[in-house]
Amino acid sequence: MNIPSSIWTLLVGIAITLISLWYGHNHDLLPVAASPEAAEVDQLFDLMMTIAFGLVLLVEGALVVSLIRFRRRTGDNTDGPPIHGNIPLEIVWTAIPAVIVLGIGIYSFDIYNQMGGLDPMASGSHSMADHAKMSGSAIAASLSDTDTEDLTPRGQQISLGIGASPEEVGSPADITIDVNGLQYAWIFNYQNKGVISGELHVAVDQEVQLNISAQDVIHALWVPELRLKQDAIPGRTTELRFKPNRVGTYNVVCAELCGGYHGAMRTAMVVHTPEEFEAWVAENSFANNPDQQPTLATNPRDMSEGEFLAPYVAQMGIDQHQAIAKLPHHHHQVGL
């Protein structure tokens, strides 16, 4: 039975479309979605995977068919037919990718807006000209002030990052946390709650706003389950706002190469029920635990021998001076 080429083209097109749609929604390449923002990003990713897989099937399928159908037969030493080009075909294969890229760009911009990507720029108190003037000198700003009362350096600068969604613009977040990145740890300072933690603890279905900065070099706070990532920039404050909707423990990863121990700059984001979160705040608040001293990540190179050994000798029950005397370099100095 001789089937017309137009019918074959239609059947192949239907098959490629169905296979691509199935794979685009069953690729299992993403971790669980723990926020509404993640669901929106997943929809965009599924669409891109559907289109990409369809193009792979189309291009690779055409190559395989060409290899088989137009292969050189045994004993055939003649030249192939001269082909100088096909203008309509070139227009089609140029127009289709252009339309696809434009469509994905419009769709991704809409999702970015729904996630609150336009809010920080709109809510900034400075113009773009002011932003341009400040960007050149931001990293050179002094970063020495890192006491517990103000872990996040702040200036009169335009806000960057992911802010409130269009529906939430103008309304404060339920939880506001100042985040400071340093080699190689994250410090989370809970505003108005008297809590400083090395882990990110939040409540499910409550709006969270992170005000992110860096103490030394550029870091990037990334939570894969939220599908959100935001740079931490020295001398600047970036914003990340989200609403977790799934109780659990998720990784917080630094996604910007920040030094020799960059791979170890990890911590956890724990999403509690509201009752569990309030209990965690009460347990870790300085107001409820006046004897508790805030602990910050410090660089051992900046500590004296006594300061470095203090927590260890207390646990071992030995004298601090005896411990210092046993250090190898100490014996060497005494001998000199």
Q: Which fold has domain 151-284?
A: Immunoglobulin-like (2.60.40)
The more confidently predicted of residues 113 and 336 is 113
What are 131-147's pLDDT values in tens digits? Answer: 433 333 333 333 334 44
pLDDT at 2 over 80: no
Parallel/antiparallel/unpaired status of strands 238-242 and 208-214: antiparallel
Average pLDDT over residues 107-127: 70
CA dist 295 and 109 (Å) reads 41
CA distance 179 to 196: 10
Q: Which residue has the higher pLDDT, 312 or 73?
A: 73
pTM, two decimals, is 0.66
What percentage of the chain exceeds 90 in pLDDT?
44
Percentage of the residues of the chain whose pLDDT score is greater than 70: 72
Average pLDDT over residues 38-67: 92
Q: Could you write out the DSSP letters of every residue in 87-154? A: HHHHHHHHHHHHHHHHHHHHHHHHHHHHTTTTHHHHH-SS-HHHHHHHHTTSTTS------TT--S--
Are 204 and 245 within 8 A, CB to CB?
Answer: yes
Compute the average pLDDT of residues 197-214.
Answer: 93
Instruction: Check residues 96 and 1 and name the one with the higher pLDDT.
Output: 96
Q: Which residue has the higher pLDDT, 289 or 151?
A: 289
Residue by residue, DSSP assigns 152-203 as: S---S---EEE---TTTTTSPPSEEEEEEEETTEEEEEETTTTEEESSEEEE
Q: Is the pLDDT of residue 273 over 80?
A: yes
